[in-house]
Structure 1
């Protein structure tokens, strides 16, 4: 169906790539951005036939792009159905996310195939709320030593036939893959996906510095949730964490909930890593937005207390973190608070940087002519007031 969304968003503080227009107008035509102009210029040349939405001086920013999100609002991308996938998208739209990669977890081959088919169907059908812009396969070709909340029973060596199955079933919608390149078949899987234009991320991996360098030489360009599920830094073997910080080719994901990474560690990365290689994610799980209680992920018991998810060991004690309940708007506010950086400085890490890593920067991630009219109105406390996806209010 053709998108007919046409209007002018007037009197907004527009965050464009080149400048912040203190009083600007975003012109939307057919669901895409036609122009971003100063208010006075718009008033001189205004087309009176075009409807006007008054932003009342709010901050108008590009919509957030989350390349690592498993679910939310009580549902996840592995076990949901068509209706529940829309609920995930409505939940994240309410937090300012306008595009996401539906992220899978390590599971049996047939279960992953079902999930991929379901996500592809949802993408074709379309939905209200956040756009599902592709798939992120997190696993199953990981290192069990660094399993984290991934089910070790389903972690396996890369299988060429399985990989081809996922690719064919995805109809080319896989945009990001997390794998452990040091494992048998890992480098072959890396090359398979790179040959098809997919961004390859190193994660849930025990790779050394040299193994990471070899993977980067083969085309890896992304790190899954920095510091979590990886060989840590050591002064005699910098490991994957050290490589992630040192190698300029690698973009790093960070879960900035104050639990997965200490705020001072976030501040350190912000001050040392190239800013254009920082990508903020949620790693959000299905229970986000729901009450504390007991949940299950791929047959593994989990509990949420105070909004923090942990696996539950057989003896009832808390195990490893089981993803997060973070949302992108909270990530934005946290990083601004912890680093002292401005809204303008932090925004790219939630918008154009993830869009670039997912191969979506031609239509997502910034308020530029020709791109989808994905934008969010924030108040001065960076709380979400409205979210618009391709010119339609979510």
Structure 2
């Protein structure tokens, strides 16, 4: 199958140019400037950006990855693909070890089908003082041997684990994860600056939703935020939904980390795409009101109802990022973190034709996955 997209504004790492591109057998084969050399689908000057890459997502459309219910998980993937996310990691939450293992095994099948890019273990190795929407009764101290069992359950698809660096056994578990090719992320942590640095030295390379579920910045006790932002080895996740983090703090993190170390995530949960109501996040009951998800008991924020197209749009319209920089933090940087930047994350010859067509107002008007339309431009 061959397809040419013509009369488009193509967003690449080098900038935005008016031109065209050709797709054959699911890959981009040509990217050109000006008028296309032959017939094609004319986009009328609409933008074409690479498919979004979300490394932290708990579900949507009523489906919750932590439950391990595969049909509902497929609904969640389909919902996020409609919003331009063509690559996503399925994130779990704290549960019993058996519950986490079963969910990981179920998601491994979706990874093998190409629907997910891996499994993220967000819990149970997190701090009680910063557990947020996780059940504190089910938290555990990190153990390399125990985590090896979870990695085995994921059948080669364990992609990331969030660990509180200050917990006993954390540093050894971070080392083990890094040695196994699993991204170690510091988050849901009450660590101080020095403990966070120790986690980074042990091999942690990601900050799980920076600012959220960790001590705030302090001028005498800088805590984990300063350590994670300041270290060139760490890429920081940010939830850009207007609820989790104030825009000024988002801009501050971006100014320090830049597009190469910043990646926007959704942290989406099952209510995404459905609206207000009562839901679950793992074993926890969640109320969604006015689009904000909070625990039924205690009121902690419990994930989000965000989609990546909204995060992208807010990055440009609220934070002031250029289109190429907004593309980098929603596509290329997370693709690099996942080790997939040679295949996805930017528009380039040889890469997968995972593409999103955006209107002038940056609304999704078409999505391609591996060169096949998920939704065609109107």
Bin for the TM-score computed over the shorter chain: over 0.9
Partner Cα separation in structure 1 for residue 362 and residue 81 of structure 2: 15
Taking the TM superposition and a 5 Å limit, the aligned residue runs for 1:114-153 are 114-126=102-114, 131-153=115-137
1:83, 1:117 → 2: CA distance? 14
Residue from 383, 390, 393 that aligns with 2:363 = 383
Counterpart of 1:168? 152
* TM-superposed deviation, 1:11: 1.8
Partner of 1:307: 291
RMSD between superposed Cα atoms in Å: 1.6
- Alpha-carbon distance, 1:80 to partner: 4.5
Q: CA deviation at 1:125?
A: 2.9
Worse-superposed segment, 11-20 or 347-356: 11-20
Distance across 2 between alignment mates of 1:353 and 1:124: 23
Question: Quick check: 2:143–2:172 contact (8 Å CA) kept in 1?
Answer: no
Deviation at 1:352, TM superposition (A): 0.4
Correspondence 1:13 to 2:1: no
- Is 1:284–1:325's contact at 8 Å kept on the other side of the alignment? yes
Work out whether 1:353 is the aligned partner of 2:348. no
> Which of 162-171 and 184-193 deviates more?
162-171
TM-score by length of 1: 0.91
**Per-residue CA shift, 1:242-274, capped at 9, x if unaligned?**
212222222111111111001121122223333
Query: Distance between the aligned counterparts of 2:325 and 2:279, measured in 1?
Result: 37
Residue in 2 that maps onto 1:37: 32
Partner of 1:288: 272
- Provide the rounded CA distance (Å) in 2 between the counterparts of 1:168 and 1:141: 17
Indicate the SS of the match to 1:339: coil
Check whether the contact 2:143–2:170 (CA below 8 A) recurs between aligned residues: no
Which residue, 279, 282, 307 being the options, matches 1:327? 307
1:28-63 deviations in whole A, cap 9, x for unaligned?
Answer: 1111111211244x41xx5x7xxx333232100001
Select the residue among 190, 202, 213 that pairs with 1:206. Answer: 190
Q: Is the 8 A contact 1:270 1:339 kept in 2?
A: no
Normalized against structure 2, the TM-score is what?
0.95
Q: For residue 345 of structure 1, report the CA deviation from its aligned partner.
A: 2.4
Structure 2 unpaired stretches of 5+: none
Report the equivalent of 1:70.
58
Q: Which residue of 2 aligns with 1:84?
A: 72
Instruction: Note if 1:28 corresponds to 2:53.
Output: no
1:59-106 residue CA offsets vs partner (Å, 9 max, x unmatched): 000010000000011111122433222211111011111100011111
Tell me which residue corresponds to 1:178: 162
